[in-house]
A and B are shown apart, each in its own frame.
Chain A
Amino acid sequence: MQQIEKWLKENTFHHSQFSNIKELVDLKQRQNVTISLCIPTLNEEKTIGKEIVLFKSQLMERFPLLDEIAVIDSGSEDNTLEVAAAFGADTYLASEILPELEDKKGKGENLWKAIYQLKGDIIVYIDADIKNIHPRFVYGLVAPLLLNKEVHYVKAFYDRPLAFSGSIRPSGGGRVTEILTRPLFSLFYPELTAIIQPLSGEYAVRREVIEKVPFPIGYGVETSHLLDIYEEYGLSAFAQTDLDQRIHRNQTTRALGKMSFGILQTFLQRLRSKHEIENFPELNTIFRQFQVRDETFETIEYNITEYERPPMISVEKYREKFGRSNKKK
């Protein structure tokens, strides 16, 4: 518990602490690191233009904090890539990166392939569906990495009610976080409960860390990052930044059910492999939900398999491109 308190005090930030972007650019240049932004997309033409314009103008042209902005798309049917390119982002189809590998679809796939495609020493991942996008979404996540070498992975959280009358108020994440993830962390990884929004899709991470972790390509990617990096480096490798409000699409409870199923698979598989639990049964991959038609209950079945990409460092082409070796510490 003491460790959590200490971490919350030392490694939890508010974006306003880093609003002097010029200072961050100086730090970055002194450390001689490069920073890449990856925006994974699937049919985001409505919001992608604004993200690119804001990040490019404020964090490349005004202050050269970012070295590249890349959109990695899962095969949008709308004009996501055209809009992104029109505003000057580098655009890629996930399937065209490392094309010799079997094609997989999922956000995690785009994030994983970004490690190969992007050149930065630090990679920032930002979802494309944020309506109130602002440069703070990037500098708020990058800053703790520039300020503290011990920090490897910075997670966003969003916490600022418009009005609150008392001095104590609950703070936390969305429904899946509060009903599934935090209870699971409380049971098995109590220190990780201090991460206020473990499922947020915005985070910044050092290449030398992210290249060593496997990537579930679906719902479990954020959870697996936390578990894998925690196992390797401990809580002190993490930091989190309050980015104020995030306005985005709200998901239905049924959609969250599928998401939870994917996260549970990832979680339980890790628990089994890392703790050598005996007699752990094979996990089913069929997720069932129900609906009523003419007074009869119908089953809807989804086959949700959390396929995982191996750590990028294990891909030979990657090692060649970045001059890396795959030796364990």
Chain B
Amino acid sequence: MADNFDEILNGLDKYVEKISELKDIFLANLVMLSEIPSPTFGEEKRRDFILERFTEYELQNCSIDEKSNALGVIPGKTGEGNILLCAHMDTVFPVKTDHTVAIQPDMVTGPGVADNGVGLAALVTLPLILEKLNLKFNSNIILIGTSRSLGKGDLEGLRFFLKHSKMTITSGICLEGVRLGRISYSSIGMLRGELSYKIPEEYDWTRFNSVGAIVNMTEMISRILEIPLPRKPRTSINLGAVEGGSSYNMQAMKANLKFEIRSESEEMVESLAQQIRNLSDEMASQTGSDVKFTEVARRSPGGTEFSHPINTRGREILNKLGIKPRFSPSTSELAAFIDKQIPALTLGITSGENISEIDESIHIEPLFKGLAQIVGMIQAIDGGHCNAAN
């Protein structure tokens, strides 16, 4: 345990150097993890790989739970605190995507290598890193590959663990592949929803307005865009994906819209969701079609204050490593910690390109600073340097 935070800061450069000696092992873990397809709700094979690694590194309590999380514990000397490090196992890529990863001297390319191959590789390589740096902590370090995080998963894995774990989690660190320098400590209010528009089979096409699902969906999109958004609290509606119809000469029978409402205010999120719900009801009654509003995921705004020591220490560690901290609110795993009022932050590990594309890439060189940052952060929390003043 480091008694003095300056000691931790001064040790960081040495960590970077030592961790870079584990480059091959980290990259191999990254490749093998990323090449296992792992769509949301289908993370089992990645989970098994992670568990195999945890078992091999002789972590304690290596296990899976009902929601398919992969779990291992590095026991602390006193076990006074429980620091949870998590990385989500799911990706946006379906199984049929070619998951082949390529390595060049300076970068690694392949679907999901950044989101969240690097986060997972950091999670499974961490026991080796700590061993190499000869670091032991008072707190237990709980490592968890979380399932069902993205989209409809709605953080189901992590939420389940936090709800049912017998260990009281004192702090959390969420690992995300990109971007190094990122510190997220607060979550904005968010609602993910889908609007589906379906024309009934028995629809009377001679009726006025019989233009098909796509046109009516377009109409609904225009109406959503007309909803006034306040400057404060900061609020936005993102239209993320649209699909509909089947071919050139067919009337479109179905159309579907995926959207996300984000706001600093929970009330504003609810109010906008209600307006979109009303729009869908109105469209249903006007056209006689089935228009369905489905809420897929929701996050409450919250988090620690900017001045909370966990954030201050995070910034200091990055500054010491020569990386400019960038603050951004998060809609990721962090929200599950926030709901439980556990101080937590999300850290990026390296830089990358083409995120969420088939040719998603990460840069190798910044990885080592990103990993040193994580070690420094664990030390800071374990040493009591991140405790809020009473």
Q: Could you tell me which A residues sit within 8 Å of B by CB distance?
A: 45-47, 49-50, 53-54, 56-58, 61-62, 82-83, 86-88, 131-132, 134, 247
Contacts and interface: CB of A to CB of B under 8 A. Distances in A.
A83 B364 CA distance: 14
Given A54-B31, A134-B32, A49 B25 contact: no
Contacts of B25: 57, 61-62
A224 to B, nearest CB: 32
A54 B101 CA distance: 12
B100 interface: yes
A50 B105 contact: no
Contacts of A132: 35, 100
Most interface-central of B28, B31, B104, B105 (chain A CB within 10 A): B28
A138 B102 CA distance: 19
A57 B27 contact: yes
Contacts of B24: 53, 56-57, 61, 87-88
B103 interface: yes
Contacts of A83: 104-105
13 contacts: A49-B104, A49-B105, A50-B102, A50-B103, A53-B24, A53-B27, A82-B105, A86-B105, A87-B24, A131-B102, A132-B100, A134-B32, A247-B98
Interface residues on B, range: 10 to 19
A88 B105 CA distance: 11
B28 A49 contact: no
B28 A131 contact: no
Contacts, number: 43
Contacts of B102: 46-47, 49-50, 131
A53 B103 contact: yes
Contacts of A247: 98, 100
Nearest to A85: B105
Contact of B28 (A57, A82, A86): A57
A82 B106 CA distance: 12
B28 A58 contact: yes
Interface string B38-72: 00000000000000000000000000000000000
Nearest to A51: B103
Nearest to A59: B28
A247 B32 CA distance: 15
Nearest to A133: B31
Given A45-B104, A134-B32, 5 more contacts: A53-B27, A53-B103, A57-B25, A87-B24, A88-B24
The 7 closest A-B pairs by CB, nearest first: A57-B24, A57-B28, A49-B103, A86-B105, A50-B103, A131-B100, A57-B25
Contacts of A57: 24-25, 27-28
Contacts of A47: 102
Nearest to A56: B24
A56 B101 CA distance: 17
B58 to A, nearest CB: 13
Contacts of B32: 54, 134
A21 to B, nearest CB: 10
B132 to A, nearest CB: 12
Contacts of B35: 132
Interface string B90-107: 000000001011111100
A58 B27 CA distance: 11
A53 B100 contact: no
Interface string B13-34: 0000000000011011001100
Contacts of B100: 131-132, 247
Contacts of B98: 247
